[in-house]
Structure 1
Amino acid sequence: MGAAVGLLALLGLPAHAADVALSRLDCGGAPAPQSVAAFSDTYAYPELKLQLVYSCYLVRHGDRYLVWDTGQPADGSPRAPKVALVDQLRAAGIDPADIDFVGLSHYHNDHTGQLASLPGATLLIGRGDWDAVRPDTPPDGMPAADYARRRAPLAHWTSGEGTVQPLSQPQHDVFGDGSVVMVSLPGHTPGHHGLLVKLPGQGNVLLSGDVTHFHENYATDGIPNWNTDRADSLASLDRFRKMAEHLKATVVIQHDPRDVGKLPAFPEFAE
């Protein structure tokens, strides 16, 4: 047995892979179709309108859990989810205190809106994003109110009360067996990430974060006006596409309503 485990370690393979499953949770949505013209800095979509969605995802790894992104705040606003993330978990018999990790694709508020409701989880965030939200004072040129709004969901962690793991490497193996991997895809923000989930039955799934926002952007290298680095954005799109091709992965573009049906709605899971 010991020799077998040693061989697996040398090959970079887990000695025992836990059961892995993935589900999508409703974490808000646009109340009506909206223009997405600003999502292309080359003016590619002057007429296109989409009713964007805000998704959260739950990865079950044996008896451990990762929440990926936390969507819009559950504050009753038009874009808010009908049921808060933690209430969806409780209704399915999952105690929010049992969530081991919260992985953030990036620091934008439509991905961090319910983060504060999971204070016991270890926060996984790209180093570039962590460095952008940790200082008390805003960066040059950013209004203080905008910076405060960006930082507010992360206050439990920036204050030192919560456990945080800033990620600096090209990829981060969340559970240590290669089944759930955060992938560095900077450009939309300095520390932006996507998520690779290797399901034993369905196969590989790639969650986009905001490396791309909808099918048309993905097909034509659409870069939003507000991305922090255009060259990094293009390089990350290229990496993401090649990963999808080589892994024969199901690509889930998180904001595109046409991709919602690619994963089961919580509490059902893809396995």
Structure 2
Amino acid sequence: MKNLLLSVAALVLLVACGQPAEQAQESPKIQFYAMDCGHTTFQDVGMFADDGSMNGQPRELIVPCYLIRHPGGDLIWDTGLPEAIADLPGGLTPANFPAHFEVPVKLTAQLAQLNMTPADVEFLSFSHMHSDHTGNGNLFAASTWIVDTDERTRMFDAEHRSDPQDFNNYNLLENARTQLIEGDDDHDVFGDGTVTIIQAPGHTPGHAVLLVRLPNAGPVLLTGDMYHLSESRERRLVPTFNTDRAQTVASQAEVERIASETHARVVRQHVMEDFTSLPAFPAALN
């Protein structure tokens, strides 16, 4: 009788907590952090629309980094502008690029708020190779780098080796532990469907987006440079400097299909309003 009463009490407790009695395991505890890894100010964002519709318009773009903490390890998605810019009074205005860069807080300082260092991060992946996404890549040379084969090839070709200012932000990854994503297949980072790298080429040869399925907040889709501006998604704008326009248009359609099917929260990574709608670091979305 005593054992029966204990069993009944346990069942009542499970029901009171809103958990089914037959549930043997809890959902993976995933934490999603959005970090401010820089700001880019343009006087003219015309380059982000090859139809000329954005010519002459100024805009400030956010440069984010994302940390996904999973029971199977930590993944950092995009590493932002080089954190050395934080040490430059007034930021940086490159001679060969029409924008001004600032880094309010170093990426390493933000990780420290979570009692982490780059060496604690098991997995690294970029949406693509551009310097505002790979600016701190070498900090994670001890991580396992997950990368599309075409993108890696482009990153280490002769043209990009000849540009030390950008190449030296990620050159140490050439000898890092690497998981190559072959062909057009998605990559399930932890093998449980919660964090998936999805191929979306066109901006660069191996551009990708990231789908994170959070147990409470639901799916979140990080779109890399699929949409730079707040207008880009609705108008399906294509930047003038994309490597393949037709691929870009096809990838935009695929991203929208995924967003519709999963009912995901779509984050246009450089759009300030999307970034500020996420919990302010060090708070997490989960």
Residue 46 (structure 1) aligned with residue 62 (structure 2): no
3-state DSSP of counterpart to 1:237: helix
Structure 2 counterparts to residues 184-223 of structure 1, below 5 A: 184-223=199-238
Residue 36 (structure 1) aligned with residue 58 (structure 2): no
> Within 1, Cα distance between the matches of 2:56 and 2:126?
31
Residue 26 (structure 1) aligned with residue 46 (structure 2): no
Residue 152 (structure 1) aligned with residue 161 (structure 2): no
User: What displacement does 1:109 show?
Assistant: 0.4
**What is residue 3 of structure 2 aligned with on the other side?**
none
User: What displacement does 1:33 show?
Assistant: 5.2
Runs (4+) off by over 6 Å: none
Equivalent in 168, 175, 178 of residue 190 of structure 2: 175
User: What displacement does 1:63 show?
Assistant: 6.1
Equivalent residue letter for 1:103: S
Answer whether contact 2:136 2:170 (CA < 8 A) is retained: no
The count of aligned residue pairs is 248
Q: Deviations over 1:173-231 (max 9, x none)?
A: 01110000001000000000010000000100000100111221111111101100000
Answer whether contact 1:24 1:56 (CA < 8 A) is retained: yes
Q: Deviations over 1:109-164 (max 9, x none)?
A: 010001111221111122111011223x22xxx8x643x34432221121x2x112
**What is residue 8 of structure 1 aligned with on the other side?**
none
> Within 2, Cα distance between the matches of 1:17 and 1:66?
18
Q: CA RMSD in A?
A: 1.8
> Within 1, Cα distance between the matches of 2:197 and 2:29?
18
**What is residue 165 of structure 1 aligned with on the other side?**
179
After TM superposition, the structure 1 stretch with the greater mean CA deviation from structure 2, 253-262 or 181-190, is: 253-262
Equivalent in 111, 114, 129 of residue 89 of structure 1: 111
Structure 2 counterparts to residues 1-12 of structure 1, below 5 A: none
Equivalent residue letter for 2:140: L
User: Taking structure 1 as the reference length, what is the TM-score of the superposition?
Assistant: 0.86
> Within 1, Cα distance between the matches of 2:271 and 2:79?
16
User: Taking structure 2 as the reference length, what is the TM-score of the superposition?
Assistant: 0.82
Equivalent residue letter for 2:199: S
**Whose Rg is larger?**
2
Structure 2: segments with no counterpart, 5+ residues = 1-24, 86-90, 93-100
Q: Deviations over 1:68-98 (max 9, x none)?
A: 1000011233424222112211122123211
Distance 1:80 1:166, change over 3 A: farther
**What is residue 242 of structure 2 aligned with on the other side?**
227
**What is residue 132 of structure 2 aligned with on the other side?**
110
Answer whether contact 1:17 1:177 (CA < 8 A) is retained: no
After TM superposition, the structure 1 stretch with the greater mean CA deviation from structure 2, 82-91 or 149-158, is: 149-158
Equivalent residue letter for 2:36: D
Residue 65 (structure 1) aligned with residue 81 (structure 2): no
Answer whether contact 1:53 1:254 (CA < 8 A) is retained: yes
Equivalent residue letter for 1:53: I
User: What displacement does 1:38 show?
Assistant: 1.3
Answer whether contact 2:30 2:68 (CA < 8 A) is retained: yes
3-state DSSP of counterpart to 2:169: helix
**What is residue 152 of structure 2 aligned with on the other side?**
130
> Within 1, Cα distance between the matches of 2:180 and 2:202?
17
Answer whether contact 1:73 1:80 (CA < 8 A) is retained: no
> Within 2, Cα distance between the matches of 1:34 and 1:258?
19
Structure 1: segments with no counterpart, 5+ residues = 1-14
> Within 1, Cα distance between the matches of 2:126 and 2:146?
6
